[in-house]
Structure 1
Amino acid sequence: MRPAWLRVDGLRTRLVLVFIAIVVIIAGGTAGVVSLMARSWIYFNAQDVATAQFRDELQSVNGVPVDGLTPANLAQVFPSDMTLISDGEVVRRGSVDPATITSSFDDGLDSTELIRFERLDSERILVGMSVHVMDTTAVNGHDDQTLVKAVAIRPLVGVQDKFDDLLRVVGITLTAGVLVSGLLGLWIASTLVRPLRRLDEAASRAADGELSVRLPEDGVAELAQVTTTFNNMVARNEAVIRGLEESEEQSRRFVADVSHELRTPLAALVPVSEILREEIPNLPPDAGAAARIVSSEIAKLTRLVEDLIEMSRHDSQQAHLVLDDVDLVELTERTLESRGWTETVELLAHERISARVDSRRIDIVVANLVGNALRHGAPPVRVELSAEPGYAVITVVDHGPGISPEDRQAIFRRFYKVDTARGRSEGSGLGLSLAVENVHLHGGTIGVDQLDGRTVFTVRLPGR
């Protein structure tokens, strides 16, 4: 896996790349401009040296007497690389081919005060200048001054070497600048990323429920302000969550207290309801109807109180398993038989399925799932028992209208009603939530799916 600091989308890498890019752009542009200017200066300097040397050589010749303008005589006076022209005629050919001398360049050589030059390429320069020599063999009997044009090709000494040295220095400086800027960018990025990483770790810890996490409010002013805001946010969240936890705990205690307080009057009402139920045939019609309503409501209240007491045990973590080796097929048969569902619910099991479970709690799970299917589903209702590697599976199937996707997880919450317009139901509203608690207590899972027009509740319990 690529290290975090090498990730292109990371803040540290981006800052380092930005620093390097800035240095490359600014230093590279500056180096390019300096190189061009230095290159011109190097050429101008080499040209000045070449032309000055050429002028010095000719000034020492100016006015020198010669015994005739012959190549041999002129060779003793002028350097051998110079091409000499007098009165339009080539007196001596040196390093320059007279045919290559342009008329514009030649016309400028008529004055002895000026020196002309023309760059031929990056390493050579064409220079020319005129001087007077005294021809002692003049026919008029006295020395005669003759104008001689001297043209030569001179090298630009050291130009390429100096330019190579310049490029080498620029390259080394630019490389060093990139390295220094990269290190500087890495240091600055680290000072910015380190607090952000601490902030990310603290946010992860807070998201996991560690509400006491706080960060030191130091460092860069902007990051310190972000840290302060984060600490304030966590503190407010902690206060809100603590308040919610206290409120929930109070609600749980209230439900538990009310449930236990109701057990005493219910213990007295249950026998009364049984007596009323037995006397219904002997009562007048109106009194019998009232007795049936009272008996039914007492039964519903009894189930609600029992479910609330059981839920309070789970909330206070006082619900414990009494495990035993149980045949789930036999357990399910007893559950259906005890509630009078044998004729309305089909049981499918191909073999004996053993599991180590708490019989009472699994009885509650199966009864709640089957009762839910009978109340809200449609026949046929079927219970299927099977075994998978490492699991015992209990499946309750009905052919009702089904459950919408948004309700499939919500139905396991306490007192949740799919039909919000329904004020009352036959159940307590805690059946599925109690089933979930008991299944999770065994280390199993429970879920619901809609398959081919059927509603399928599936419970998986760890096998033996």
Structure 2
Amino acid sequence: MSAAREKSPQAGPRWTSLRLRLVVVFALVALTAAVSASGIAYWLNREAVLTRTQDAALNSFRQEMQNRAATLPPRPTQAELQAAATQMAAGGNPGYSVLLVDEREPGKPIAATSDVDTLTLEDVPRELQGAVNRRQKVTEANEFPYHLYWVRISPRDKPSLVAGTKVIGGGPTGYMLTSLEQERDDLNSLAWSLAIATALALLGSALLAQAAATTVLKPVQRLGDAARRLGEGKLDTRLRVSGTDELAELSRTFNRTAESLEKKVADMSAREESSRRFVADMSHELRTPLTAITAVAEVLEDEADNLDPMIAPAVHLVVSETRRLNDLVENLMEVTRFDAGTARLVLDDVDVADQVTACIDARAWLDAVDLDAERGIMARLDPRRLDVILANLIGNALKHGGSPVRVSVRPVDHELLIEVRDHGPGIPEAVLPHVFDRFYKASASRPRSEGSGLGLSIAMENAHIHGGDITASNSPEGGAVFVLRLPLDVSRAADGDDEGDGGVRDAQEGGDK
């Protein structure tokens, strides 16, 4: 593993998606509330302002119609009509323009306006004129034949109120026009004020949301960091707990869980270390008597031809089982070194084709193995451990597969690929995931066999210490295929590894041969 450390997630942006969602929700709630309140306030103020101005103007106009227009003589002159219109406009509060319409003679209407630039008969909507001049039927519910009507208009983008009525019992028809521009300006100012208030409320809600999110998310972030450290193996990680809320209770639960996990891992580690020490000590202690037994067995094997024919098979069995026991002890010691992290690589530059040939020749497999390897493929690795890997893979193929076993070697993208293929029945699909497990045997009906169930496991451990891997599969044409992948230069792959299986040493330094 490289000495470079992976960048911690804490170094990234602290603006998490949860924080963003909280701020957005707060902002939307505040915006909805502010817009609703501003809309209601604007509508209520608008109606209040317009209604007040409108009622004042209509009441004043009605009063002026009764005081001045109703006192005009029948069929007034133009001058009289003009004077009345001027007096009505002058006495109106608020100020407005007045238009009076009457008949000097039948069929000859006359009109007078207080301000010809503001109000003429053409400025009065026809619908309003029709409603004003339309005589209503007098009933108990309707005491007067004519009523006061009004309408809001906006000629030339100038909001105005136009009203009209007719003097009951004979008299002129009067129209009034008053400007609503001041009210419009006041309402626009109110709208701007409400918009600014809404924006300030939105900004305030965002700040409050940020503060609330920080208050809520900081404990969650601490909990996430603690869980990350716990996942990295720092089992002594604990959280500082303050308060009595749900987050505090969650922190207490985390601390209890971490404490329980640390205790269980410590117990398991202690048991595992004890088991590992037991296996190592047992293997070491077995070597001395086993060496003596092996020497005796070899002597017996040399004398087997001179022994009683009834005893010779037993001697051969003892010799075979002694060698098997010796191999098992050596494998157990190798596994123990891997588990203890004391296995080391002793690197050297080797010609892979020569190394594979030497492995096959040393075990007298030349007639059963078909080698496809070009000379000159150089790799920097541990030749002893490569020999162990090849011996286990090829031996497994010869034992459980079918001859010939084909071994091909080729470099691919700074990697060394060694493929071992047999021509047997292949590996059952249920067995494939377990072929590299320790002490695993495919046939449960034959728990005792020549193998110990450690060969492929040791091969995989040796591949891992090189920074490589082994995969097992079945060929479509039949037979099992094991593919070993190793870096062409193990020293680069293992440079700076402070967590490996004991590290790397150069061949000149020596090693655990």
Cross-structure match for 2:241: 217
Q: Which runs of 5+ in 1 are unaligned?
A: 132-145
Asked if structure 2 preserves the Cα contact closer than 8 Å seen for 1:281 and 1:288, the reply is yes
Tell me whether 1:128 sits opposite 2:151 in the alignment: no
Aligned-partner Cα distance in 2 for 1:15–1:329: 64
| Closer, same or farther: CA 287–170 of 1 in aligned 2, 3 Å | same
Q: Give the conservation status (yes or no) of the 8 Å contact 1:349–1:386.
A: yes
Query: Equivalents in 1 of 2:51, 2:414: separation in Å?
Result: 92
Q: In structure 1, how many angstroms separate the alpha carbons of the residues matched to 2:446 and 2:362?
A: 29
Q: State whether residues 420 and 482 of structure 2, in contact with CA within 8 Å, keep that contact through their aligned partners in structure 1.
A: yes
Q: Residue 469 of structure 2 corresponds to which residue in structure 1?
A: 445
Q: Does 1:13 align with 2:50?
A: no
Deviation for aligned residue 1:304: 0.3
Deviation (angstroms), 1:216: 1.9
> Residue in 1 aligned with 2:330?
306
1:289 aligns with 2:313: yes
Give 1:362 shift: 2.1
Structure 1 residue corresponding to 2:401, chosen from 377, 384, 388: 377
- More displaced 10-residue stretch of structure 1: 28-37 or 428-437: 28-37
Please report how far the alpha carbon of residue 115 of structure 1 lies from its aligned counterpart in structure 2 after TM superposition.
Answer: 7.8
Which residue type is aligned with residue 384 of structure 1? S
Q: Compute the displacement of 1:110 (Å).
A: 5.9
Q: Which runs of 5+ in 2 are unaligned?
A: 1-11, 90-97, 114-119, 154-158, 490-513
**Alignment match, 1:103:** 134
CA RMSD of aligned residues (A): 3.3
Separation in 2 of the partners of 1:115 and 1:218? 76
Q: Which residue of 2 aligns with 1:153?
A: 176
Q: Is the 8 A contact 1:109 1:128 kept in 2?
A: no
C-alpha distance in 1 between matches for 2:438 and 2:431: 13
1:354-373 to 2 correspondence within 5 Å?
354-373=378-397
Deviation at 1:255, TM superposition (A): 0.3
Aligned to 1:138: none
- Cα distance, 1:356–1:105 mapped onto 2, change above 3 Å: same
Q: Give the conservation status (yes or no) of the 8 Å contact 1:369–1:432.
A: yes
5 Å matches for 1:368-447? 368-403=392-427, 407-447=431-471
The answer on whether the counterparts of 1:125 and 1:154 sit within 8 Å (CA) in structure 2 is: yes
Shift of 1:289: 2.6
Q: Map 1:44-443 onto structure 2 (within 5 A).
A: 44-55=51-62, 57-58=64-65, 61=68, 69-79=76-86, 81-85=98-102, 92-94=111-113, 95-96=120-121, 101-104=132-135, 116-121=148-153, 123-128=160-165, 130=167, 148-157=171-180, 158-218=182-242, 221-403=245-427, 407-443=431-467
- For the residue of structure 2 that corresponds to 1:448, the secondary structure is strand
* Counterpart code for 1:261: E
Structure 2: which amino acid aligns with 1:345?
Answer: V
Residue deviations 1:95-145, cap 9 Å, x none?
45766634257988969xx983422436223143749xxxxxxxxxxxxxx
In structure 2, relative to structure 1, the CA distance for the partners of 1:407 and 1:155 (3 Å cut) is farther
Q: Is the contact between residue 105 and residue 116 of structure 1 (CA under 8 Å) also seen in structure 2?
A: no
The amino acid across from 2:150 in the alignment is: E
In the superposition, the TM-score normalised over structure 1's length comes to 0.83
Structure 2 CA distance for aligned equivalents of residues 348 and 65 of structure 1? 130
Q: Distance in 2 between matches of 1:336 and 1:344?
A: 9
- Name 1:37's counterpart in structure 2: 44
Q: Give the equivalent residue in structure 2 for 1:455.
A: 480
Which residue number corresponds to residue 140 of structure 1? none
Per-residue CA deviation, residues 195-221 of structure 1 (Å, 9 max, x unaligned), is 222222222222121212222223682
Deviation at 1:305, TM superposition (A): 0.5
| 1:372-402 per-position Cα deviation (integer Å, ceiling 9, x unaligned) | 1122222221222333453444322112333
* 3-state SS, counterpart of residue 101 of structure 1: helix
Q: Residues 322 and 34 of structure 1: is their aligned pair in 2 closer, same or farther, counting only changes over 3 Å?
A: closer
**Aligned length, in residue pairs:** 444
Aligned 8 A contact 1:86 1:148 in 2: no
Look up the match of 2:8. Answer: none
TM-score, normalised with respect to structure 2: 0.76
* 1:348-368 deviations in Å (ceiling 9; x for gaps): 223243333333322222111
Q: Which moved more, 1:397-406 or 1:18-27?
A: 397-406
Show CA shifts across 1:268-315 (max 9, x none): 211222233234334444423322222221111111001111222232
- 3-state SS in 2 of match to 1:218: coil
Q: Which moved more, 1:431-440 or 1:401-410?
A: 401-410
Partner-residue secondary structure (3-state), 2:311: helix
Q: Distance in 2 between matches of 1:56 and 1:215?
A: 82
Is contact 2:353-2:373 (8 Å) kept?
A: yes
CA displacement, residues 166-225 of structure 1 (integer Å, 9 cap, x when unaligned): 322222222222222222222212222222222222222221212122222236822222
CA separation in 2, counterparts of 1:99 and 1:45?
26
The whole-number CA distance in structure 1 between the counterparts of 2:466 and 2:475 is: 26
Distance 1:330 1:75 in 2: 128
User: How far off its partner does 1:50 sit?
Assistant: 0.9
Q: Which residue type is aligned with residue 100 of structure 2? A: T
Structure of greater relative contact order (alpha carbons < 8 Å, 6+ residues apart): 2
CA contact (8 A) 1:377 1:401 kept: yes
Cα pair 1:329 1:353 within 8 Å, conserved: yes
CA distance in 2, matches of 1:416, 1:171: 76
The secondary structure found in structure 2 opposite 1:24 is: helix
Are the counterparts in 2 of residues 109 and 130 from structure 1 also a CA contact under 8 Å?
Answer: no
Greater CA drift, 276-285 or 331-340? 276-285
